[in-house]
Amino acid sequence: MELPLKLNREFYKQPLLDLARKLPGKLLVKSTGSELLAGKIVEVEAYDGATDESAHSFNGKTPRTEVMFKEGGYLYVYLSYGVHYCCNIVTGNKDEGTAILIRALEPVIGIDQMAINRFGKDQISVKEKLNLTSGPGKLCKSMGIVKGDNGTDLVKGEIYLTESFETNQPGIVQTTRIGISKAKELPWRFYIKDNPYVSRK
């Protein structure tokens, strides 16, 4: 399968919310030696270290949040609740501390391998397929994204984004974010309307 055009540095350097609106529909790709995995982004959340109390970067640069302060186009991976990895796309310019959490994907390429990564088998039910990448921890498990991928350059590395397969713009819903205790009121969650892989309505 021929992949759409890979996104470049300029794309990632757009302001946080501009980029957050544009990410749904794009493909998240992991291309290592022999294996090719890809999923369509269907749900994201924006985090802004300058103004947003719930952003990891809100209290300034620390060893953990260092990559959030790079220029746009790097991958920020962290361990959530000591259990799951979650991945973010760093956006904007150097030292802004802005990033977008990928909350859900629709599996597109390498679905068998994703099923093995997540469930340990390649034969899965319809129900299991819907559960494969419908959450930030789930998608990292399926895509095989781990702490070592923190800091990956999305322009030069094995993990990157591409343009959408579809030419028309998907219908986007904008709401408040999930699973946070601070700055709950900010409407910085974006997802594709009626897509079954969205983590929660």
55 binds DNA (CB under 7 A): yes
20 binds DNA (CB under 7 A): no
Cα separation, 191 vs 199, whole angstroms: 9
Of 186, 189, 162, the C-alpha closest to 43 is: 189
Binding segment toward DNA, per CB under 7 A, in 75-83, 108-116, 151-159, 190-198: 75-83
Among 23, 27, 37, 86, binds DNA (CB under 7 A): 86
Whether 65 and 121 have beta carbons less than 8 Å apart is answered as: no
CA distances from 49 to 38, 99, 110, 131, 182 (A): 29, 9, 35, 31, 13
Binding segment toward DNA, per CB under 7 A, in 5-13, 74-82, 163-171, 190-198: 74-82
Whether 172 and 17 have beta carbons less than 8 Å apart is answered as: no
Residues 166 to 185 in contact with DNA, rule: CB under 7 A: 177-182
121 binds DNA (CB under 7 A): no
131 binds DNA (CB under 7 A): yes
**Which token pair is 106?**
């629709």
Cα separation, 197 vs 24, whole angstroms: 12
47 binds DNA (CB under 7 A): yes
Which residues lie near DNA (CB under 7 A)? 45, 47, 54-57, 59, 62-65, 68, 76, 78-84, 86, 88, 99, 101, 131, 135-139, 177-182, 199
